[in-house]
Amino acid sequence: MIQVEALTKLYGEFVAVNELSFAVQPGEVMGLVGPNGAGKTTTLRCLAGIIPPTRGAIRICGHDLAGAPIPAKRQLAFFTDEPRLFDYLTVQQHLAFTARIYQVANYEPVAAQLLDELELTPKKDALPGELSRGMKQKLVIACGLLHSPNVIYFDEPLTGLDPLGIRRMKDSILKRAQAGAAIIISSHLLHLVEEICSRILILKNGRKIIDGTLDEITRRFSEQTTEANLEEVFFRATGEKEEGSVES
Amino acid sequence: MLSALLYLQFHSLKNRLLMRFKRLKQPKYLLGGIVGALYFYFYFFRYLFGLHHPGPALPSAASPADLSLYESLGALVLLVVVSVAWLVPRERAALAFTEAEVAILFPAPLSRRGLIHFKLFRSQAAIFFTTLFLLLITSRRGGHAWIHALGLWLILSTLNLHFLASSFARTMLLDRGITTWRRRLAILALLFASAGLVLLWALRTLPHPDFSGFDPSQPLEPQLQTLKSYGHQILVSGPLPWLLFPFRIAVHPYLAPDAPAFLRALLPALLLLALHYIWVIRSNVAFEEASVEASRKIADKVAALRAGNWRAAGKQLKVKRAPFTLRSSGSPAVAFFWKNLISAGQAFTVRTWLIIASAGLIFCFALARTVDTTGLPTLAGMFAGMLLIWSLLVGPQLLRQDLRQDLLHAEILKTYPLPGWQLVLGELLAPAAILSAIQWFLLLLAVAMLSGSSGPGPTGPAIIAPGIGAAFILPMLNLLTLQIPNAAVLLFPAWFRLGKEGAQGIEATGQRIISMFGQLLAFIVALIPAAAAFAIVFFPVRMFLGLNPALLLACLAAAIVLAAEAAAGLLLLGWLFERFDVSVELAP
């Protein structure tokens, strides 16, 4: 569903992403993790068609994102960490606008269901300025899921959500994956990644360190035969050391 | 504490300037900087540094009586400004801090007095630049620049302290149960009492102005001179100069004709400044909570300005009714049209415009019938025509519900499954439609007034035919002219980022000059093919069918050519949007 080959993004001489290749199949949830400045957000922006890659190929559901961006973008949705909304459109108007952009026929029942699931129905006539950050995030999610995307990218999806919202978000992600969507989640919350991702890709300095299931990368980077959690594996894989820790 | 604040101010200013200089490494921004610098030099700096002498200065060329008059006038202006500061605001005192300052300074071991000093110190930077700007303008009239500079600084600093002190005083009154309206009534009573005193003195003391020779058919100059003289006497004698005494102290140094006069005026002004400072420092008012809220509102406004949403930056946004029901099927460009019409507000609904057009037509016909002999309809028609022409150039600058507004949403826009040209078309439809509606209304007025007038020049069908032709041309022309500023946004996005870090300074002025000439040039160039098509159709058709059909058909031909140009422009803009890299162009 998502195929990335030799993705490279350069800013002058600075290499933000370097020859990144991976694939995500329908039903898979891939966790994209790495230290700050590893290139996670740049990678997701290239995959969403927001910024052009310097080199490489990206295919979304068989469509080349560079050569056929329209059919590719019809299949995908990208949820950024910071909700971006139009200040002067109400919740309801945002959904109407999105439905027209994505040509979602008979969107009203789907929109109503999404608003209900995300507890936004009482706020359907409110402007973004009247919503809390978590509600804005939910509105962005409602808009993104309206056209039933087959490919979904999340950049720090739990930021600003209350505990119930977090639980529902996790359930929603798993539900979409079970329905056949290919999902990439970028997050620093390794326990979240561990909980819901079937595969993990670790980036550092724009390069892929490893890409595989949690078991595979644990076997590769764990120094012990007993199970190690993703956090320990992450530190070993990226060579990051916690200051003041006692060496065992 | 002072050293920390000086450090903050110095490095903030230095880094801000460095950022702007770094941007000048790109040729497209360097050009704006050069043009802006040249403009400032030729228009301001050469007068400031004495390289060009425009003539005698205002203060030194004026007599002492005139100086006294100017002083009273200046004092009167200050009185109005200060009165507004006491009358209008109703909120509690809130010092304007940024969110970063609130987050760092408020929890820091700084006293309330320390925070006030920080605010006063920071406002001196703004006062310095304002003084410099005003000095650049006023120095074109010559005179001692240093006297003007110090005089302006004294006025602005005193006003700044007064605004702060008055906000503290208002808060103290609120804390003591004196409501906003009671305060306003008290201030108004004081102002009216003072005005009454001055009026009473004038009526009892001054000879009444003589208007017995007033003849409406004669020039009004003698009567205006009488009024001016009467006003002069009120301003320089009687109770008014005494009532304005504190304000005159503030203004006096600015109007000093030479150094000795300035030094004589300086001491009272500095004393006034010091008294205000003591007033501010000794006010014990809790401003923190209101300041936190104010800083959040400022941050929201700046974010809105950066996004190009001037309306959101101005006042609280209200829910606006959609202009029509947006279906989920059909051209996606219509979705942007719908969205941007909502952004433009309720003034631009079809119903509103139908009402305005009907009322306008009724008014025009009534005017044409009743006052046909005075030439008023012709004048009204010509005025409408002039406004229409003016709107062709200025309209695209004022109506910004397009990419200029959605610039910082480029990240969302890039994810939409639309080809670039379709997205750009959608963005331009709303301002083009609004501008066309306004112009059609003006065209209707002009044609209605001019076609029915009995004055010299063409009338009747000779006006109506080109009017109908113009109605075809205008929407295409608007679609074309709107593409120019939107192309500029895509090519030079940093020029269009507003707010504190955005389009300010010399390079921003240069950018505006370049944009203005660029738009004019593009407008003229775009008209050439249309003018050629007009001519090609007009002359042959006129020979066979007459003037009016020729005008109509020629306008239609010109409209078709303009539509083709607009289509080509859309494809180009669409291509520019598709290759727009948000991570480079919109990087902070």
The residues that bridge with A64 in the sheet, in sequence order, are A59
Vertex B132 angle, CA B130 and B136, to 5°: 115
pLDDT of residue B572: 94
Within 10 A of B144 (CB to CB), how many other CB atoms are there? 18
Q: Closest residue of B to A9, CA-based?
A: B583
Quickly state the pLDDT bin for B309 (edges 50, 70, 90). low
> Of how many residues is chain B composed?
588
Instruction: Specify the DSSP class assigned to residue A48.
Output: T
Provide mean pLDDT across the span A108-136: 91
Taking alpha carbons only, the member of B451, B482, B485 closest to residue B466 is B451
* Interchain contact A82–B (C-beta under 8 A): no
Model pLDDT, residue A245? 43
Q: pLDDT of B134-161, one tens digit each? A: 887 776 555 577 888 899 999 999 999 9
Residue of chain B whose Cα is closest to the Cα of A88: B343
Rounded CA separation A121/A92 (Å): 9
Which of A232-241, B64-73, B215-224, B384-393 is predicted least confidently?
A: B215-224
Instruction: Say if the Cβ atoms of A100 and B581 lie within 8 Å.
Output: no
**What is the rounded average pLDDT of the residues B14-26?**
79
Max mean pLDDT range (B80-94, B102-116, B177-191, B347-361): B177-191
- Are the C-beta atoms of B473 and B551 separated by less than 8 Å? no
Q: Are residues A14 and A70 in the same domain?
A: yes
- pLDDT of amino acid B501: 42
CA distance A185 to A193: 8
Q: Strand A207-212 vs strand A14-24: parallel, antiparallel, or unpaired?
A: unpaired
Cα B179 to Cα A85: distance, rounded to the nearest angstrom: 39
- Chain A residue with the nearest C-alpha to that of B426: A101
Strand-pairing partners, residue A209, are none
> From the CA of A220, how many Å to the nearest CA of chain B?
35
Q: Taking CA atoms, what residue in A is nearest to B584?
A: A11
The reply to whether B340 touches chain A by the CB within 8 Å rule is: no
Cβ distance of A99 and B409 shorter than 8 Å: no
The answer to whether the CB of A58 falls within 8 A of the CB of A3 is yes
pLDDT at B497 over 70: no
Chain B hits for A48, CB-CB cut-off 8 Å, are 414-415
Q: How many domains does chain A have?
A: 2
pLDDT at B212: 65
pLDDT above 70 (res B60): no
**What was the pLDDT predicted at B157?**
94
Encode pLDDT of A146-170 as tens digits: 999 999 999 988 877 788 888 888 8
Of A229-238, B114-123, B493-502, B569-578, least confident by mean pLDDT is B493-502
Backbone angles phi, psi at A208, to 5 degrees: -80, 125
**Residue A15 has what pLDDT?**
92
Residues A209 and A100 in one domain: no
| Phi-psi sector, B460: left (phi>0), alpha (psi -120 to 50), beta | left
Within a domain: residue A191? yes
Residues B220-246: what's their mean pLDDT?
82
One domain, residues A58 and A105: no
Query: Which three-class secondary structure string do you get for B329-398?
Result: CCCHHHHHHHHHHHHHCHHHCHHHHHHHHHHHHHHHHHHHHHCHHHCHHHHHHHHHHHHHHHHHHHHHHH
* Mean pLDDT score, A2-28: 93
Q: Which of A70, A78, A90 comes nearest B418 by C-beta?
A: A70
Angle between helices B2-23 and B112-138 (to 10 degrees): 40
pLDDT of residue B502: 45
Average pLDDT over residues B26-52: 72
Between B533 and B133, the higher pLDDT residue: B533
The pLDDT, as a whole number, for residue B249 is 93
* Region B518-534 average pLDDT: 88
Percent of chain A with pLDDT over 90: 59
Return the closest-CA partner of residue B449 out of B389, B375, B387, B392: B375
Q: How confident is the model at residue B263 (pLDDT cuts 50, 70, 90)?
A: very high
CA dihedral A182, A186, A191, A193 (to 10 degrees): 20
Task: Give the residue on A whose Cα is nearest the Cα of B405.
Answer: A86
Task: Say which residue the tokens 């949705």 belong to.
Answer: A77
Question: Phi and psi dihedrals of B457, rounded to 5?
Answer: 105, 175
User: Among A148, A167, A201, which residue terminates a domain?
Assistant: A148
d(CA A149, CA B12): 45
- Interface predicted TM-score (ipTM): 0.85
- pLDDT, greater one: B378 or B411: B411
Subunit contact A103:B416, Cβ cutoff 8 A: no
**Residues A65 and A49 sit within 8 Å (Cβ to Cβ):** yes
- Residue A119 region by backbone torsions, left for phi larger than 0, else alpha for psi between -120 and 50, else beta: left
What H or E segment, with its residue span, contains residue B174? Answer: helix B145-175
Domain boundary among A148, A165, A183: A148
| Partner B contacted by A109 (CB < 8 A) | no
Does the beta carbon of B347 lie under 8 angstroms from any beta carbon of chain A? no
Chain A, residues 143-162, CB within 8 A of chain B, namely none
| One domain, residues A70 and A188 | yes
The dihedrals phi and psi of B380, each to the nearest 5 degrees, come to: -65, -40
Q: Are residues A219 and A109 in the same domain?
A: no
Q: Which positions ≥6 away from B480 have C-beta within 8 Å?
A: B526, B562, B565, B566, B569
Confidence class of residue B348 from pLDDT cuts 50, 70 and 90? low
B59 pLDDT above the threshold of 60: no
Residue B501 burial (CB < 10 Å; 0-12/13-18/19+)? Answer: middle
Reading the block at residue B295, the tokens are: 């800083």
Are residues A61 and A168 both part of a single domain? yes
Q: How many CB pairs under 8 A join A and B?
A: 102
**Chain A residue nearest residue B579, CA to CA:** A52
Please state, rounded to an integer, the average pLDDT across all residues of chain A.
88
**B229 phi and psi angles, rounded to 5 deg:** -65, -40
Say yes or no: A49 and A99 in one domain. Answer: no
Q: What is the pLDDT of residue B499?
A: 33
| A243 assigned to some structural domain | no
Residue A247 lies in a domain: no
Residue B37 confidence class, pLDDT cut points 50, 70, 90: confident
For residues A215 and A164, membership in a common domain is answered with yes
Return the residue of B nearest to A95 by Cα.
Answer: B328
A96 in the same domain as A129: yes
Which distant-in-sequence residues (6+ apart) come within 8 Å of B581 by Cβ?
A51, A52
Q: Does a structural domain hold residue A141?
A: yes
Contacts of B339 in chain A (CB under 8 A): 86, 89, 93, 97
**pLDDT value of position B496:** 64
Q: Within this chain, do residues A124 and A179 fall inside the same structural domain, yes or no?
A: no
- pLDDT of B549 > 60? The answer is yes
Stretch B189-205: mean pLDDT: 90
First to last CA, chain A: 43
Range B101-108 average pLDDT: 74
CATH code, domain carrying A16: 3.40.50.300
Are A78 and B322 within 8 A, CB to CB?
A: no
On whether the CB atoms of residues B313 and B304 are closer than 8 A, the answer is: yes
Tell me the mean pLDDT in the region B378-388.
84
Contact list, A103 vs chain B (CB under 8 Å): 328-329, 332
Domain assignment of residue A97, given as a range: 84-148
Task: Give every CB contact of residue A69 below 8 A, 6+ residues apart in sequence.
Answer: A49, B417, B578
Q: Is B415's CB within 8 Å of A73's CB?
A: yes
Using the beta-carbon criterion (under 8 Å), do A107 and B415 form an inter-chain contact? no
Give the least confident one: B285-294, B351-360, B478-487. Answer: B285-294
Nearest to A131 by CA among A146, A147, A113, A115: A115
Same domain, yes or no: A6 and A61: yes
Inform me whether the pLDDT recorded for B72 exceeds 50. yes
pLDDT tens figures, B439-468: 998 998 888 888 765 555 556 667 788 888
Is the pLDDT at B403 greater than 50? The verdict is: yes
Question: What are the pLDDT digits (tens) for A197-208?
Answer: 999 999 999 999
A107 in reach of chain B (CB within 8 A): yes
Which residues does A34 contact at the CB level (< 8 Å), separation at least 6? A40, A202, A203, A204, A209, A238
Query: What is the per-residue pLDDT for B32?
Result: 77
Q: What's the CA gap between B384 and B449, in Å, rounded?
A: 9
Domain's final residue, options A92, A117, A148: A148
Question: What is the pairing mode between strands A2-11 and A55-60?
Answer: antiparallel
Could you tell me what percent of chain B has a pLDDT over 90?
27
Tell me which residues of chain B, numbers 284 to 313, contact chain A at a CB-CB cutoff of 8 Å.
300, 304, 307, 309, 311-312
Q: Which tokens hold the place of B216?
A: 């409406």
pLDDT given at position B278? 92
Sign of CA dihedral B181, B186, B192, B195: negative
Q: Give the residue from B97, B103, B104 showing the smallest Cα distance to B123.
A: B97
Q: B32: exposed, middle or buried (C-beta count within 10 Å: 0-12, 13-18, 19+)?
A: buried
- CB-based contact (8 Å) between B210 and chain A? no
B415/A76 touch (CB, cutoff 8 Å), yes or no: yes
For residue range A80-98, list pLDDT tens digits in order.
888 889 988 999 999 999 9
% residues pLDDT > 70 (chain A) = 94
More confident residue, B189 or B49: B189
Whether residue A178 has pLDDT greater than 90? yes
What value does the mean pLDDT take over residues B14-37?
A: 79
Residue A142 and residue A63 in one domain: no
pLDDT confidence band for B35 (50 / 70 / 90) = confident
* Number of CB atoms found within 10 A of residue A139's CB: 26
Q: CB distance B581–A73 less than 8 Å?
A: no
Query: Would you call A51 and B582 a contact, using CB atoms and an 8 Å cutoff?
Result: yes
